[in-house]
Amino acid sequence: MRGWLTWRSFVALTEVYTAPLNLAWLLMGASIAQYHYGQVNWANLALFLATIILFDLAVNITDNYYDYMHARDREGYARHTNVIGRLGLPLRGVWLLGLSLYILSLVPAFILLARTGWPLAVLGVVGYGVGIFYAAGPSPINATPLCEAAVALSITYLVQLVAVYLCVYGTRPLDWGLVGGTFLVCLPVGLVFFTIQLANNVADLDEDIRNGRRTLVFFLGRERSFIMMRVMQALGAVTPILCAGLGLVPWQTALSSLLLPVMWGLMRPFYSQPDKERTYLPLVGGASVFFVGYTLLLATGVWL
């Protein structure tokens, strides 16, 4: 099939519109490095930004590819829901596009490795492993109860941890103090992000069952998943106060807890009608309000 890779198909395969979120995650990492260690390496962060943008695009493509290949519901999901079937895209072309972006993402990654040390290789193997095997392989992560936590930890903690390490390399080792401190600062965002993953799988539960995916939501059921989501939202929204009290973040960051009513209001319709098209996007919007608010207040307290 010639000329299949149009802008429309590229956007649908890669979900490139989500790429700007990576700026928020790197800003959080830079803020942590500046607040706790007094230094930021902007050159390393720029290379890392290029890596994760290319990597994210590749992951989204291969997720679509392997979800299509693994689908048991060939008529419904594979033909009409998955972007490859819906747009009639060639499998080999999609696979080669994903592979090409993975290879491109390794260029700035290897430059970073040459500029830093072996801990980056370890963190990189973990990150690439989660990204590749999230949908690939005979037992992909997205078909297991680990999928929600794997995504949340990778996006809201591993990225920031790498960013902090890249900023302080040469002056501070990657020890348990750095690892643990970064985790606690990222915890509020991680808890709320986990609710997005639960919500995604609640909305897709019937589809996941038809395609043999057994996520955490499958084992909890919808009602207990809703309870866990509410608990995680509340904990995520109040944890900034605890972090500020412990001196892990500037006091301004605690103000993000005031966003709980806004976040809760945007998320509430999902609980009565969990629907991917009508109520899921407002839920993501509510979580994004908190992500942006927490990150900007953290950065404001650090640099202003």
Give 26-41 pLDDT, tens digit per residue: 999 999 999 999 999 9
- Helices 118-133 and 91-115 cross at an angle (nearest 10°) of 160
Mean pLDDT, rounded, for 166-191: 96
User: Which residue has 């989204």 as its token pair?
Assistant: 60
Is it true that domain 175-304 has CATH number 1.20.120.1780?
yes
Q: Is-contact 164 26, C-beta < 8 A?
A: no
pTM: 0.93
Q: Within the chain, which residue ranges are assigned CATH 1.20.120.1780?
A: 175-304
3-state SS class at 209: helix
Residue listed under structure tokens 């307290």: 301
Q: Per-residue confidence at 246, pLDDT binned at 50, 70, 90? A: very high
pLDDT at residue 166 greater than cutoff 70: yes
Rounded Cα–Cα distance for residues 236 and 269 (Å): 19
Neighbouring C-beta atoms of residue 170, cutoff 10 Å: 10
What percent of the chain lies above the pLDDT cut of 90? Answer: 87
Separation of CA 290 from chain center: 15
Q: Does residue 150 surpass a pLDDT of 80?
A: yes
Residue-wise pLDDT tens digits, 183-224:
999 999 999 999 999 999 999 999 999 999 999 999 999 999
- Residue 302: pLDDT band (50, 70, 90) is very high
Query: Residue 2: which pLDDT band, with cuts at 50, 70 and 90?
Result: low
In this predicted structure, the answer to whether residue 77 has a pLDDT above a threshold of 90 is no
Q: How confident is the model at residue 76 (pLDDT cuts 50, 70, 90)?
A: confident
Q: Tokens 């928020």 correspond to what residue?
A: 24
pLDDT band at 21 (very low <50, low <70, confident <90, very high): confident
